[in-house]
Structure 1
Amino acid sequence: MSVDSTIASLVERRAAILAAEPNLRARNLAERLGISEAELVALGGEKSEVTRLRPEWSGIIGAVGALGRVMALTRNESVVHERKGVYGTLEGGAHVGLIVGEDIDLRIFFTQWKFGFAVVEKMEDGSLRRSLQFFDAHGTAIHKIYQTPETDTAAFDALIARFATEASPVEVTAAPAPKQALPDSEIDVAGFRAAWDALKDTHEFHGLINKFKVQRLQGLRLAGEGRAARVPAASLRATLEAAKSGEVPIMVFVGNPGMIQIHTGPVENLKPMGPWFNVLDEKFNLHLREDHIDSAWVVWKPTEDGTVTSLELFDREGTLIATLFGKRKPGVPEDEAWRAIVNGLPEREAA
């Protein structure tokens, strides 16, 4: 089959699927077509103009602040995190970057970024919706940036023109099989627990699990009493509802290998819809598949500012879906109202 006929077949099948399910998300549409989402975007369409972007990732992200208010979207297999705001100054380097702001708060791992596109879609009302979309080497979405009514569209068009390059084939690689955890018997559990108790900052936790060669979920299971406890999978909903009713500001971290996106603030409009549990606020939207939560854990980490308490959600493969904290800043003790919410969750089984 020629390349042209393959593309024609994909376009025809895409049209048939969308005719039946017009609200299907791009990630799921790509799965149905048997291609990656990056390949789906590269197909283009009658109502969209797609421009390939040069792989100057830090340059592009550093220029997004000039667009004004946009919507930042980061997701993984189980959750979509959307936050509106203005991108602040990009800090860091070519490999790891960060944007720290009240609205847009990102930790960026540029080494995972492989493909970038600008997409201009013609909407049903005739308006244009601009977006920047970035993918890893497997064609999996890392981060997307969408125009809002407050966006400077002339600046958006100028950014696209500045970083545009010629279209070329999107050649994705297969994702590697997940790395298997070491048997518990090969872990220095006593040393791991002692090092956990010596933590001074939550950011040291990643180094801790790497040092002792434990996977994150395995580490929580081996942590022992007072460090981690398994709670019911329904704890996400209970936590968000308690934060809403108590007007407790929280932090919601959602990530993938190329990006971590953080919401800090209240949650107000909570809506379950089928398997999805949603936060539908003006600045912040969260869409999380509750049926993907295989285990939920309350985790206590010592820091120089006192104990920091989090709720961590994992899928059946042991992949981290999302992490929730109370709103906090370095040098400030944890919010007692947040601590009370999470410590009040019923323990399902001891870690």
Structure 2
Amino acid sequence: MTNAATQHAASLRERWQAFRLINPKVRIRDAARELGTTEAELVATGTGIGTTRLRPEFEAILREVEQLGHVMALTRNDSVVHERKGIYLNPSFNPHVGLFVGEDIDLRLFMGPWAFGFAVSEGDKHSLQFFAKDGEAIHKIYLTERSNREAFEALVKKFAAGLQSPELQVETPKEKGYVFEGISAENAKLFRQEWAELRDTHDFFGLLKKFELPRREAMRYAPEGLAYQVSPGTVRLVLQAAAEKALPVMVFVGNQGCIQIHTGTVSKLFEMGPWYNVMDPEFNLHLREDAIAEAWVVIKPTDDGVVTALEVFDAHGEMVVQFFGKRKPGKPELQEWRDLVKANAVRIS
């Protein structure tokens, strides 16, 4: 690193320390924006002072997380935070995608953007934190009171980078949003036909790619009855109804490098400021309701019958959270979920 990079890291550390003294409750993601930097760079300023840089051997690190025992997995984007406690089980990786599939921790990992890893200890909080090339947080793993602290320390020692420097080079983030000019009438007709003929929900992504359709815009080209826009308040109504009926749901939250899934019931729901929250013992969800630009009920045919989702988009057109009824491949969707969504969806189109 250059002397200028060293000076920048030292200056950022001072600014970050001063900011925290004045704003102790501001989240690091928000602080990074206010300081004109990235979350990864702020975390890196603690290197050697409770923070250890890890070698970017992400698959190897993640394969050993099971040894930590019961932990809390955290994945978020700008609008939604998803926190799920459990044990990391059944890892599998290819060069581009990783999976953890368990009753509690259920992850889809897209390894291309992964660039930086840290172990962070602040007081009695200990975590592994992973960031993209642009410095945005991808995934974090926090120890709980039931975790194996010795295994954590051994993992950190094993994967600690040779050079423990607070200097970090990140890429300029891509501009969010997109320009969409529509598709031809012929392609719109073909798209509707192929949507109506879907046999697996996982084929929907390929369908969007084939017709070069952003996901939110695709809703406007849906076959009759297979997608309709609903009020942002529908999200709260659906969660409340699911809680009242103890109906198990699936909640998907993702970013550029990870999708995290909760499958199970939700119970303790409440509003705090702009956030609507699920605060159950093993699952927490924090949804910034004022960031919801559009919400859609989306129906996809499959060999097992239709699958009904509630999809939520931000102002940039990015999907920030999806809700489904609990289901498994090879089994039909619960009729109770379909009825619940239909009864609580506040249509606006």
Q: TM-score range by the shorter chain?
A: over 0.9
Deviations 1:102-144 (A, max 9, x none): 000000011110111111112xxxxx32111000010000000
CA-CA distance at 1:30 after TM superposition: 1.0
Identify the residue that residue 164 of structure 2 maps to in structure 1.
Answer: 167
Superposed, which structure 2 residues align to 1:1-351 within 5 Å? 3=5, 5-44=7-46, 48-122=49-123, 128-165=124-161, 166-168=163-165, 169-178=167-176, 180-186=178-184, 188-350=187-349
Matched letter for residue 291 of structure 2: H
Q: Secondary structure at the match of 1:303?
A: coil
1:239/1:253 Cα in 2 relative to 1: closer, same or farther (>3 Å)?
same
Deviations 1:63-120 (A, max 9, x none): 1001100000000011110000000021131310111100000000111101111111
CA-CA distance at 1:8 after TM superposition: 4.4
Identify the residue that residue 125 of structure 1 maps to in structure 2.
Answer: none
- 1:58/1:94 contact within 8 Å kept: no
CA-CA distance at 1:3 after TM superposition: 4.8
Per the normalisation by structure 1, the TM-score is: 0.94
- 1:229/1:347 contact within 8 Å kept: no
Which stretch of the first structure deviates more once superposed, 81-90 or 166-175? 166-175
Aligned length: 344
1:114/1:154 Cα in 2 relative to 1: closer, same or farther (>3 Å)?
same
C-alpha separation between the residues in 2 aligned to 1:252 and 1:174?
A: 30
Deviations 1:21-69 (A, max 9, x none): 32211101111111100000000079x5111111111111111001100
Identity %: 49
Matched letter for residue 62 of structure 2: I
Q: Secondary structure at the match of 2:152?
A: helix
Q: Secondary structure at the match of 2:64?
A: helix
Which stretch of the first structure deviates more once superposed, 12-21 or 161-170? 12-21
Deviations 1:249-286 (A, max 9, x none): 10000000100000000100101000001101110011
- 2:193/2:223 contact within 8 Å kept: no
Deviations 1:183-242 (A, max 9, x none): 224461110011101111111110010011100000011114211000001111111100
CA-CA distance at 1:16 after TM superposition: 3.3
C-alpha separation between the residues in 1 aligned to 2:180 and 2:245?
A: 42
CA-CA distance at 1:176 after TM superposition: 2.0
Per the normalisation by structure 2, the TM-score is: 0.94
Q: Secondary structure at the match of 2:145?
A: coil
Which stretch of the first structure deviates more once superposed, 152-161 or 16-25? 16-25
CA-CA distance at 1:167 after TM superposition: 2.5
C-alpha separation between the residues in 1 aligned to 2:146 and 2:342?
A: 40
CA-CA distance at 1:4 after TM superposition: 5.3
Q: Secondary structure at the match of 1:69?
A: strand
C-alpha separation between the residues in 2 aligned to 1:19 and 1:224?
A: 54
C-alpha separation between the residues in 2 aligned to 1:8 and 1:170?
A: 12
C-alpha separation between the residues in 2 aligned to 1:229 and 1:43?
A: 47
Q: CA RMSD in A?
A: 1.7
Q: Which 5+ residue runs of structure 2 have no aligned equivalent? A: none
Matched letter for residue 173 of structure 1: E
Which stretch of the first structure deviates more once superposed, 65-74 or 333-342? 333-342
Matched letter for residue 135 of structure 1: F
